[in-house]
Each structure stands twice: as C-alpha cells, then as structure tokens.
Amino acid sequence: MRTLSIIIPAYNEEKTIIPLLQKVIDVKLINDIRKEIVIVNDCSQDKTEQLVTGYIHSCAGNNIILVNQEKNQGKGAAIRKGLSTITGDYVIIQDADMEYEPEDYNILLEVFLKENLKVLYGSRFLNPKNRHSYQSFYWGGRLVTWFTNLLYAQHLTDEPTCYKFFETTFLKSIPLQCNGFEFCPEVTAKVAKSGIKIREVAINYYPRSIEEGKKIKWTDGLEALWTLLKYRFVD
C-alpha cells in the first residue's frame, strides 16, 4: 500500500497543533493510501512538545512521529529534518496552524496520481472564495509569484503556498540548503531548473492574523526574492 507522508514543522503552536492533528487524522485518503504524520518541533518555547507527546500516546495505532530539534533553526531546517525521517511514497508540507484544509489532500492526490506528476502545488488564488488577511501579504505573494514566473518561465498563481505536494524520491533528490521561510522559493527554483512545469490546483485557505500567531514578515518576502534570483544563476 502507498503512503502519504505529511511533514508538519511547528514552532510555538500550542493553540492549534492538536486541532490540526485531529483534522489530519480524520481525513480518509483516496485509493486506500495510508498516512505517515511527522511533526518537527522546532524547539518550541510553549507547550507544543508536551501536547503532541500526549496526543500521540492517546492515539495509538496512528502513524505519528514527533521529532524535536535541539535548537530553533527555522521552517526550512524543520522540513529538511522531516525529509530525513519520512518513508512514504508521496509527501506534502502542512503548516501547524489552521490556515490550510487537510481535506484538500484528496484534491491534490487525485490530480497527482491521474497525471502521474512529480510535483503539484495547491493555489490559494485559484479559489475565488478565499480571502486574505492583509493586503501586504496578498500583494507580496503576488510579487514573489510574478518574479518566479519571470525568472523560471513558469505559469504559477501562488508560489508561496504551503501545500506543495511531491513524489518523495524526487523531493529527496533536490539538494535543499534552506533554514527559514526560503524553503518555498528554493524548492520552486530547483524544481523549475530540473525542467518541470509546476502544475497547480485550487485549494481552500483560512488566514490567521499576526495576533493569532502568523509568523511570516515582510523581510521574508525580500529573502524569497533574493533566493529566487540567486538560484536562477547558481546551482
């Protein structure tokens, strides 16, 4: 049987990590595909680790793994740690907040399997029902996407999306170096340079505010642009 690995990088997500994990567990994947859930706790200073540990003990029989980083290194480092842990045939990145809908895994899986893809992105902008919390994030995402398309001849609508879905062996073959939020532009750049035109499907999106714990900053947008430019000319 095939397995979908779900990497969840988490830093100080005590308010949302358990409801998110429950939503992930409750999803029944198509084609009897199994789930492997890998939470990478990025040295949280709140109760994230304790809550996840207790939840795993209460959910015997579910394939849930907790990996603890010894020091806080960032989202990209957490994803790379998760990649070294997973064993599934496919992998998706899942933020630990409640902005993305795990039920959408099946939307991605259906297209991924039908079209025999190596990579597929879930686009927030292809779904007209979605709203966005801040104009700065909306236009920042649009700018990063436009810059991606300009540099790499893609036709994306949502480069910074969390829902990036891969064939595991393909993702593991990409030499990632990221530590922070630059995971998205780095992996997109390197996928594009491999000659792949990245396919997208519409997904749901429920943005949270800075007060609710949103961590990305405008400086991360500048870093994304620099990362895209750097990998356009550097292997």
Segment 43-90, tens digit of pLDDT: 999 999 999 999 999 987 789 999 999 999 999 999 999 999 999 999
pLDDT recorded at residue 207: 83
Average pLDDT over residues 5-11: 97
- Beta carbons within 10 angstroms of residue 216's beta carbon: 16
CA distances from 205 to 70, 180, 183, 191, 214 (A): 31, 22, 20, 24, 14
Q: What is the pLDDT of residue 60?
A: 76
CA dihedral 83, 86, 52, 202 (to 10 degrees): 70
Neighbours of 4 (CB within 10 A): 23
Q: 220 in the Ramachandran plot: left (φ > 0), alpha (ψ -120 to 50) or beta?
A: alpha
Could you read off the pLDDT of 209-228 as tens digits, one per residue?
Answer: 555 555 567 677 788 999 99
* Per-residue model confidence (pLDDT) at position 209: 58
The full set of domains in the chain, from first to last, is: 3-233 (3.90.550.10)
Q: Count Cβ atoms below 10 Å from residue 111 Cβ, excluding itself.
A: 16
218's tokens: 């405008």
**pLDDT band at residue 115 using 50, 70 and 90 as cut-offs:** very high
